[in-house]
Structure 1
Amino acid sequence: MNLRQIEIFHAVMTNSTASRAAEVLRISQPVVSKAIQELEHSTGLALFHRTNGRLLATSEARLFFREVEQSFTGLTHLRSAAARIGGFGSGEIRFASLSELSTNVVPKALYAFQKRHPEVTITFQTQRSTLVKDLVASGQLDVGVVADETELAGVDARPFTNYRAVVALPADHRLRERAVVLAKDLHGEPFVALSPEDTIRRQVDAIFETGAIKPKIVLETQHSTTICALVNAGLGCGVVNPITAEPYLGRNLIVRPFEPAIYFRTLLLLPANRQPLKIVTNLISDLKNHASLDDATTHQTVPLL
């Protein structure tokens, strides 16, 4: 007895005739008849009476069919599970991002994604880029977004965003009329800086040092989002990722492109040597769709990679 014989028996019982079973299974009627004979031989059951070329089910066949039906229900469940896993995996996506995108790009993308896929559960974390990378590399995350200076061993890394840095200013600042704020314009200005270990901070410091420019650093913080909040509160100005400034625009904060141009770049990480599930690919698409900036946010067009 094998699965093919059971499948043919099921088709005969479901469709009442061998000819119709053959048609449904797209095989010949002699193949159906042979499989039924082999099944009867292997089970020792007389499953059908043969009358005028027709197969008439016996009582044994009907009892056996009950058991077969239960097995087919299990197979149908397995087929459905395979289809679901192929598109949705476990039905959960594990995702993490650096904080700069967690208050703007990510919420908008997750909202769009969940409207189209309400059956998928998303676990989202905001973490340091190095930790996000380690979690993706170990398979504990399905996708991550990190700063571009992150070490990338053990992951599949793809360019994600590329935002030109802007200067966040209080709305009444003396530089508010400038189309572009030059580094030299910040000499002596109260300045909220990123942490010394930050890549953008190091680039800004190098620009200031080259031009003998000395802003008055009043605070240091890890995140552009915090700089925007502090500028909005009137503590000074700061060089920030423009995506983090958007929630504050129209309040007590304006932004202008910083010159010379420097860029906040991020990477999208996936586990190495593993094709992402379709549902993960859909989330990535939504992230990309909501990562663009408009002129109102940056005072210019900012390209994305």
Structure 2
Amino acid sequence: MERPDVFSGLNHAPMSDPQFRSLINLRQLEVLRAVMRCRTTIGAAEELGMSQPAVSNAIKLAEAKLGIALFDRVSNRLVPTADAQILMADAEPLFVVHEAVQRKAWDLRTGRAGVLRIHATAELSQHLVPSVLALFMAEHPDVQVTIEAVRMDALLEGVESGSADVGIAMKPPARPNLTREVLVEAEMMCITPKGHELAGLPVLTPFDLRGRRIVGPGSASPLGAMISQAFERSSDHYHADIEARFANIVSPMVARGLGIGFVDEMTARYDKEPAFDVHRFRPRVAVPVCGLFVRDKPRARLAQAFMQHALRYMQAQLGRRDGDDEEGEVSQPV
């Protein structure tokens, strides 16, 4: 049986024809759909949050524009005509798409959906970023996340150019176009192989490290220069026998007995049962962990939410202990 043509004379009208485009809109289709479900204008009005007269007027207007009857009144009920049923069969996919768009709009508004692009230095991308991301994704499950582990110069350029929404780095250098937001002030730690003769010392100093093989950043690097300053304060000289730029490389080498390592506090304290012993180092070498954003530009809502999770996570993991001895601290302004 052939389907009747409810748009006689308009079936070949172009979409640009105002008469064609104004026949019926999505809101009128929503009203029609609600009345078909409820079979009364009162029920449809309650479902749509409209007044009953507004629903009745919407149906009358649609019937007038279409030139067809959409409902028959039978025993105080509105029964959809065959034309109305045909129209709604074609319109139903529109509601599916519309509801999907509404859900997506809500997710974007509440931060549950979208795209977040993160650049992080290697030592933070291995432990810190995954831990923070787990907390973030629990609240934003539909967000698409891109993470790049990059060198410091690439990180700064990525945030400046907009290819990253946020950068995470330890002691990043100043850039005029970037804002550095300190999340937590960590410190450099010493790690020793299990069973090492220094294992019983909770705090190590340059004196304790004299004549011992050191694994850590070279003195020409920013972190290495800060460690060198701490050694100089104690009239000692810092030299890394095995130079390793990133802490995630230092840790496994120390675990294999290659020397005493210098790593950041996040790396040192991440594992609950590490393959090495952890010692505080004095004079204290303070290392700020920062989030980086483009200056004078609104921050992406998802990037800000990620930073809030990072702040809470790091403060919980690295909460300062009472009675910390900060004397002789070595730090540089951010």
TM-score band (shorter)? Answer: 0.7 to 0.9
Q: Which runs of 5+ in 1 are unaligned?
A: none
Q: Hey, what does 1:264 align to over in structure 2?
A: 287
Q: Distance in 1 between matches of 2:176 and 2:82?
A: 65
Shift of 1:117: 6.8
- 80, 92, 106: which one pairs with 1:83? 106
- 301, 305, 320: which one pairs with 1:281? 305
Q: Closer, same or farther in 2 for the Cα pair 1:263/1:53, shift >3 Å?
A: same
- Matching of residues 72-221 of structure 1 within 5 Å: 72-86=95-109, 87-90=111-114, 93-110=116-133, 122-154=145-177, 157-171=180-194, 173-215=196-238, 217-221=240-244
1:147-206 Cα offsets, whole Å, 9 max, x none, are: 222335555643223222222334455544433222343344433341334322112222
Q: Hey, what does 1:26 align to over in structure 2?
A: 49
1:250-278 Cα offsets, whole Å, 9 max, x none, are: 64x42321111112221123564133239
Q: Distance in 1 between matches of 2:87 and 2:150?
A: 58
Pair 1:242-2:265 in alignment: yes
Identical positions, percent: 27
Q: Which runs of 5+ in 2 are unaligned?
A: 1-23, 327-334
The answer to whether the 8 Å contact 2:116/2:302 transfers is no
Shift of 1:130: 2.9
Q: Hey, what does 2:248 align to over in structure 1?
A: 225
The answer to whether the 8 Å contact 2:122/2:150 transfers is yes
Q: Distance in 1 between matches of 2:310 and 2:234?
A: 41
Q: Which secondary structure state, in structure 1, belongs to the residue aligned with residue 236 of structure 2?
A: coil
Q: TM-score, normalised by structure 1?
A: 0.77
Q: Distance in 2 between matches of 1:29 and 1:117?
A: 39
Q: TM-score, normalised by structure 2?
A: 0.71
The answer to whether the 8 Å contact 1:158/1:268 transfers is yes
Q: Distance in 1 between matches of 2:37 and 2:101?
A: 20
Q: Which secondary structure state, in structure 2, belongs to the residue aligned with residue 63 of structure 1?
A: helix
Q: Closer, same or farther in 2 for the Cα pair 1:291/1:123, shift >3 Å?
A: farther
The answer to whether the 8 Å contact 1:106/1:287 transfers is no
The answer to whether the 8 Å contact 2:214/2:241 transfers is yes
Q: Closer, same or farther in 2 for the Cα pair 1:213/1:28, shift >3 Å?
A: closer
Q: Which moved more, 1:204-213 or 1:17-26?
A: 204-213
Q: Closer, same or farther in 2 for the Cα pair 1:129/1:88, shift >3 Å?
A: farther
Q: Distance in 1 between matches of 2:73 and 2:195?
A: 97
Q: Which moved more, 1:68-77 or 1:207-216?
A: 207-216
- Structure 2 counterpart of 1:69, one-letter code: E
- Structure 2 counterpart of 1:226, one-letter code: I
- Structure 1 counterpart of 2:300, one-letter code: Q
Q: Hey, what does 2:35 align to over in structure 1?
A: 12
Q: Hey, what does 1:37 align to over in structure 2?
A: 60
- Structure 1 counterpart of 2:285, one-letter code: I
Q: Distance in 2 between matches of 1:24 and 1:216?
A: 75
- Structure 2 counterpart of 1:261, one-letter code: R
Q: Which secondary structure state, in structure 2, belongs to the residue aligned with residue 102 of structure 1?
A: helix
The answer to whether the 8 Å contact 1:189/1:216 transfers is no
Q: Which secondary structure state, in structure 2, belongs to the residue aligned with residue 186 of structure 1?
A: coil
